[in-house]
A and B are shown apart, each in its own frame.
Chain A
């Protein structure tokens, strides 16, 4: 168990900077999720922590000790790979016990640890099988078993669930959450799936184009995104963003509707307004801020998604709980819950909310 710090870390390939000024302080036992679109540098960052990729500049510390030039084997970190990377010529038990075999731990201790891990992960009946005789979910479990058996200072996960089918992914996600509760270990988890990020993380680090966009708890990111990128990346379905003209404590849409935003500072600078699909109400045609025609209606049972074509603004997605009896072609009034609206300045930075104590 250990605290992990990254100070002004930079990664370059030749002259290309793929990660810039990464500063991160990960507390002992914290579950951190690195999330971002492909190519944002999240996997590279994880591999730098693992020691598989050299750090170009800056300091990397585990438990206060500088680890930049320490070999992977000496960092005492376990990693679960996206491809599982099970050793194809070793059976499940040997795969899991391989690190102890390398450390030359006594065989009987190794056996008992392997057995314990296999019991925990429901692999007891499979310990003599080769990886090729296992299903995807079982391989995933073996990869996790290989990590937990070592009792390392930190766990790294590189998109561990992306090769599994949807239902198995949910199941394994739960298992990882349980594992974290049980072990209380520091975990760093890379994914591009925001649902995984939101459900697992103590804190989420959103990366884009080699920069950290925002670090915060799942709710913080959802409620107070720092910029337009985070706002649109976190939350599903994606936040609606429309062009507006700024004014004092309000913004005005292209078709001249003013929306009061007293909870935001500096609305004069706003050029865009963001509103999540769940923060728009469907009302009578003339009772709301906007009027539009339902283009597509998706009934999901628990929710209804309505894609509304608003003249002058383009499509707006509305999500309502339960079953809304709307159908394609309906004229609908939309009321924006303005207290939940976000506004962005020209550089994409979100306008700060007046009721937060952020410095």
Chain B
């Protein structure tokens, strides 16, 4: 039968396409790792060979013990977790309100939130800098949390709203008939069902904050308040770039993101589908 015969070909084709995509997407990561473990003297001499002739962990050692990298790392973790927590909390509240209540100005608020997403960030960097400066928050991690939270709230709110929309209204009505106040219904019935959505939002915001460079570069100039993307630039000096250490730092920076995603992965997969299909 033609169907039976064409199937393996189709499957093979699918895997080939996936493989091509994965190679394309993961190659930079591979290169990052490869350079990180290549001894300094081989980086230029061996050029573009796929695997260096000798390996070293010296770059990691230098990065961890002789630079301020751990410091930057801690700052980034603090900023990203702070942003993710604050954004998710606010977005969950706003998303619930958009999903369940009709109130005056709802459409306008949604429109304004959309508009804020339309400006190129470069355009508003100067005013943001002035505002933060006049608040005396330059060179503080708090300023980054505030700015990142403000920028991530609209998208996170829409994300949370769609998760709440996916939970039938009947459920909280049933809970209210069963004797819950609206808040109790939210806490006992809706909240447990929104965990996937919260996980997805947390992950999204965490990653966005973790890799943000532009604002961190503008608002932070002191070494002790630098986040890791800004810190990476310290490996670039006037006359040379310390590729090996920079890449080693990059590899280390991937770890928290990976851990975070492994941790929330279960919720994320559920979450992204549960918004689409009811039940």
Interface residues, chain A, with chain B CB atoms under 8 Å away: 50-52, 71-73, 77-79, 81-83, 85-89, 98-99, 102-103, 146, 150
Contacts and interface: CB of A to CB of B under 8 A. Distances in A.
Contact of B180 (A51, A73, A77, A83): A73
Contacts of B193: 88-89
Nearest to A75: B177
B179 interface: yes
B170 A99 contact: no
Nearest to A132: B279
A84 to B, nearest CB: 8
Contacts of A77: 177
Contact of B176 (A73, A87, A88, A89): A73
Nearest to A74: B179
B181 A73 contact: yes
Nearest to A147: B177
Contacts of B181: 71, 73
Contacts of A73: 176-181
A50 B181 CA distance: 14
A103 B171 CA distance: 18
A333 to B, nearest CB: 54
B178 A52 contact: no
Give the one of A72, A78, A82, A99 with max B CB within 10 A. A72
B171 A87 contact: yes
Given A73-B180, A102-B180, A102-B184, A87 B168 contact: no
Interface in B155-208: 168, 170-171, 173-181, 184, 188-189, 192-193
8 contacts: A50-B173, A50-B177, A52-B173, A73-B176, A77-B177, A87-B171, A88-B193, A89-B192
B173 A81 contact: yes
B175 A52 contact: no
Given A73-B180, A73-B181, A102-B184, A87 B173 contact: no
Contacts of A85: 168, 170-171, 173-174
Interface residues of B, number: 17
Contacts, number: 54
Nearest to B172: A85
Contacts of A86: 174
Give the one of B170, B189, B193 with max A CB within 10 A. B170
A114 to B, nearest CB: 13
Given A81-B173, A83-B168, A98-B175, 10 more contacts: A71-B181, A78-B177, A83-B170, A86-B174, A88-B193, A99-B179, A102-B178, A102-B179, A102-B184, A103-B179
Contacts of A82: 170
B178 A81 contact: no
A294 to B, nearest CB: 47
A146 B171 CA distance: 13
Contacts of B170: 81-83, 85
Give the one of B178, B181, B189 with max A CB within 10 A. B178
A103 B175 CA distance: 12
Nearest to B278: A83
A81 B178 CA distance: 12
A150 to B, nearest CB: 8
Contacts of A103: 179
Q: 9 closest pairs, A vs B, by CB?
A: A85-B170, A85-B174, A99-B178, A102-B179, A72-B176, A73-B179, A79-B177, A89-B192, A81-B170
Contacts of A81: 170, 173-174
A71 B188 CA distance: 18
A86 B173 CA distance: 11
A78 B174 CA distance: 9
Nearest to A146: B178
Nearest to A81: B170
Give the one of B170, B175, B177, B188 with max A CB within 10 A. B177
Contacts of B177: 50, 52, 72-73, 77-79
B168 to A, nearest CB: 6
Nearest to A52: B173
B118 to A, nearest CB: 32
Give the one of A51, A52, A146 with max B CB within 10 A. A52
Given A52-B173, A79-B174, A87 B179 contact: no
